[in-house]
């Protein structure tokens, strides 16, 4: 209830005491829907910071504020040099009025998602400058209309039959919850009036309590059993709420998003390790195709005497095995095929063992990153972490600005650029030089990247799946077979002045694949 009239009527005189006589020396914004006023006075520098981005509308008043060198814009130039005379709250309204030395009026309207800052010239009733121009009704808002009188008599209360919303429209969610807890709706009219009188007495007490309700931090003027902190100064209370709810809350949100992204990545890596370990063991436990080939070659004479299905004794296992040849197929051809399968299987085993070793290291690395990230306690620590691990930062699913789609194939992460501009951004800001880069040959299409993350080689089936995505997200989408370039990202460079998405490839390998779009098993976003 820090933005209700009941709190603001305590805050306004405290602000008047702190800022009266101070001169406004700058007015600027460096965050979306956030306005900062810098003032100088006998007590030094004081800032008014109004964060008006719904649903998190907060005020803070501090002696220090770091203005950024970039991404900042000066506003309300006509305020510069103005001296603040006083601050007051509009009667029964969620708005503050700063009277300035020239007769100008600065209004902070704190109406939830319609919160705004408005500047009025002397003797003018319509604003000359508006901070949030999207709120069209504020363009003709007469600041004098903000004052309103309420009839708080018993007679009017009885006339309204105890309808508290009509009788006390100034109440916020905390007082309303207090009335509900007291069983207001089930009370007689007399009992309701007694509760209203008790509530108004409590709201007249200048004691400000920080409390968490429904997962949200709030300031309350009412007794709270689970109070986080209690303050006697409304400015201190306002500043503490701003810090804990907005600054610390934003930090926790960003940190938790990063933690979840790494945790999801670790989960996928561990899942891959489990499945691949089982697959590796299954391959090791199953007989090699070369054994059957050996049996076949030792019994070539049998095929000279008969055709169709042949039963042979497997001298490796002691069991009987049935072998049938395809029409016109020679037993030597089948044996050669089995030897090739055996050789390929050994290559698969070797590759699988290498990938598992690399994935184990990746899992250890991810766990180490999680442990370090968990120790970050402020934005500075978080910024340092992100700077050091820029290449490893996972793209959170909820990041609208992410320039690529994300896929997962056999434990490998694959990125697919969303547009020509996004292709450039992905290549410039996200890709490591050792990552594999793929693109449909000689036609417009998405850049596709296989993240290696220290793994020396990528299995051929992963490369082919990524290539099929590159073909799918290109002009070759409808072809039966499409040529796709495969190379390391270090061999891909952007030429200054070239069109978005256009690159030069210094070294390339081309493979032919059938275009295939995302499926349930690969798509992550």
The string of pLDDT tens digits covering residues 275-287 is 888 888 888 888 8
The pLDDT value recorded for residue 250 is 73
Mean pLDDT along residues 138-148: 94
Q: How far apart are CA 172 and CA 169, in angstroms?
A: 8
In the predicted model, is pLDDT for residue 197 greater than 80?
yes
Q: What is the pLDDT of residue 397?
A: 42
Q: Report, in this order, helix, strand and coil percent for the chain, each rounded to 5.
A: 40, 25, 35
Helix axes 379-388, 248-285, angle to 10 degrees: 40
Helix (H) or strand (E) run with residue 267 in it? helix 248-285
**Token pair of 419, please?**
């547009």
* Residue 81: closest CA among 154, 164, 24: 24
pLDDT band at 1 (very low <50, low <70, confident <90, very high): very low
Task: Over range 485-490, report the average pLDDT.
Answer: 95
Which residue has tokens 């709706």?
185
**Angle at which helices 331-374 and 289-297 cross, to 10°:** 170
Exposure on the CB side of residue 218, measured as CA atoms within 13 A? 21
Tell me what pLDDT residue 400 has: 43
The average pLDDT across 460-484 equals: 93
DSSP 166-202: HH-TT--HHHHHHHHHTTGGGS-HHHHHHHHHHHHHH
Annotation: CATH topology of 5-146: ibrinogen binding protein from staphylococcus aureus fold (2.30.310)
409-452: per-residue pLDDT in tens?
887 889 999 999 999 988 888 898 999 999 999 999 999 999 98
Q: Residue 509: pLDDT above 70?
A: yes
Task: State the average pLDDT over residues 170-181.
Answer: 89
Average pLDDT over residues 73-88: 95
Q: Is the pLDDT of residue 305 over 80?
A: no
Residue that wins the pLDDT comparison between 131 and 172: 131
**Distance spanning both ends of the chain, measured CA to CA:** 39
Residue in the block written with tokens 């220290």: 454
What's the pLDDT at 520?
53
Question: Over 60: is that where the pLDDT of 375 sits?
Answer: yes
**pLDDT averaged over every residue in the chain:** 88
Dihedrals phi, psi of 108, to nearest 5 degrees: -105, 105
Cα–Cα distance measured from residue 320 to residue 326, given in angstroms and rounded to the nearest whole number: 20
Residue 479 above 60 pLDDT? Answer: yes
For residue 47, pLDDT beyond 80: yes
Query: Would you kindly state where each structural domain of the chain is located, as residue ranges?
Result: 5-146, 154-232, 266-373, 395-513
Q: At what angle do helices 331-374 and 248-285 cross, to 10 degrees?
A: 150
pLDDT for 522 equals 58
Q: Name the pTM for this structure.
A: 0.58
Banded model confidence at residue 474, pLDDT cuts 50, 70, 90: very high
Say what the pLDDT of residue 253 is. Answer: 76
Are 350 and 364 in contact, with CB atoms under 8 Å apart? Answer: no
Residue 241, CA atoms < 13 Å, CB-side half-sphere? 31
CB 466 within 8 A of CB 513: no
Binned at pLDDT 50, 70 and 90, residue 401 comes out as: low
Nearest to 21 by CA among 2, 3, 46, 1: 46
Q: Write the CB contacts of 155 (distance below 8 Å, at least 6 apart in sequence).
A: none
Least trusted range by pLDDT, from 14-23, 222-231, 297-306, 313-322: 297-306
The two tokens of residue 92 are 């029964």
Reduced to 3 states (helix: H, G, I; strand: E, B; else coil), residue 23 is: strand
pLDDT at 216 over 80: no
Angle, alpha carbons 243-248-253 (nearest 5°):
145
Of residues 140 and 391, the one with the higher pLDDT is 140
79-95: average pLDDT: 96
Q: How confident is the model at residue 299 (pLDDT cuts 50, 70, 90)?
A: confident
pLDDT-above-90 percentage for the chain: 48
What 3-state class would DSSP assign to 138? helix
**Structure tokens of 193?**
């009036």
Distance of CA 437 to the CA centre of its chain: 26
What pLDDT sits at residue 399? Answer: 43
Say yes or no to pLDDT of 45 above 90.
Answer: yes
State the average pLDDT over residues 251-279. Answer: 84
Contact 99, 85 (CB under 8 A): yes
DSSP lists the bridge partners of residue 85 as: none
Which of 59, 144, 38, 149 has the alpha carbon at shortest distance from 110? Answer: 59
Q: Give the percent of the chain with pLDDT over 70.
A: 96
Q: Tokens 């002045």 sit at which residue?
A: 497
Least confident range from 226-235, 340-349, 509-518: namely: 340-349
Q: Quick one: tokens of 305?
A: 């005497």
CA 186 to CA 267: how far, in whole Å?
Answer: 52
């Amino acid at each position: 209830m820090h933005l209700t009239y009941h709190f603001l009527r305590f805050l306004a005189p405290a602000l008047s005491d702190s800022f009266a006589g101070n001169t406004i020396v700058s007015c600027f914004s460096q965050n979306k829907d956030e306005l900062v006023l810098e003032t100088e006075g006998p007590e030094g520098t004081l800032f008014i910071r109004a964060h008006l981005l719904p649903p998190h509308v907060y005020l803070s008043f501090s002696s220090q504020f770091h203005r950024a060198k970039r991404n900042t814009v000066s506003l309300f130039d006509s305020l510069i040099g103005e001296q603040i005379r006083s601050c007051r709250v509009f009667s029964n309204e969620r708005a503050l009025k700063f009277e300035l030395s020239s007769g100008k009026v600065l209004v902070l309207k704190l109406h939830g998602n319609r919160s705004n800052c408005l500047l009025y010239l002397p003797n003018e009733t319509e604003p000359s400058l508006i901070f949030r121009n999207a709120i069209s009704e504020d363009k003709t808002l007469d600041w004098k209309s903000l004052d309103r009188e309420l009839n708080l008599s018993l007679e009017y209360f009885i006339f309204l039959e105890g309808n508290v919303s009509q009788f006390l429209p100034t109440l916020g969610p905390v007082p309303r919850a207090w009335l509900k807890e007291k069983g207001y709706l089930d009370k007689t009219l007399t009992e309701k009036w007694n509760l209203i009188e008790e509530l108004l007495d409590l709201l007249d007490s200048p004691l400000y309590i920080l409390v968490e309700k429904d997962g949200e931090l709030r300031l309350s003027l009412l007794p709270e059993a689970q109070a986080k902190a209690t303050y006697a100064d409304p400015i201190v209370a306002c500043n503490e709420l701003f810090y804990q709810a907005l600054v610390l809350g934003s930090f926790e949100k960003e940190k938790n998003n990063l933690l979840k992204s790494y945790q999801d990545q670790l989960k996928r890596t561990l899942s891959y390790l489990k499945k691949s370990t089982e697959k590796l063991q299954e391959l090791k436990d199953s007989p090699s195709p070369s054994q059957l080939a050996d049996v076949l070659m030792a019994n070539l004479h049998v095929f000279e005497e008969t055709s169709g299905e042949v039963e042979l004794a497997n001298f490796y296992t002691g069991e009987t095995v049935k072998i049938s040849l395809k029409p016109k197929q020679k037993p030597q051809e089948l044996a050669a095929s089995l030897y090739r399968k055996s050789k390929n299987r050994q290559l698969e085993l070797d590759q699988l063992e290498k990938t598992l070793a690399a994935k184990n290291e990746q899992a250890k690395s991810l766990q180490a990153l999680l442990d370090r990230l968990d120790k970050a306690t402020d934005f500075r620590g978080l910024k340092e972490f992100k700077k050091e691990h820029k290449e490893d930062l996972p793209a959170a699913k909820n990041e609208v600005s992410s320039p690529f789609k994300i896929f997962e194939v056999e434990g490998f992460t694959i990125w697919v650029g969303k547009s020509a501009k996004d292709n450039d951004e992905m290549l410039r800001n996200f890709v490591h030089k050792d990552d594999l880069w793929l693109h449909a040959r000689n036609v417009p299409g998405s850049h596709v990247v296989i993240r290696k993350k220290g793994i020396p080689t990528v299995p051929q089936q992963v490369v082919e799946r990524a290539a099929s995505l590159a073909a799918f997200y290109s002009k070759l989408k409808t072809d039966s077979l499409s040529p796709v370039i495969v190379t390391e990202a270090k061999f891909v460079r952007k030429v200054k002045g070239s069109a978005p998405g256009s690159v030069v490839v210094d070294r390339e390998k081309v493979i032919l694949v059938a275009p295939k779009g995302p499926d349930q098993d690969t798509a992550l976003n």
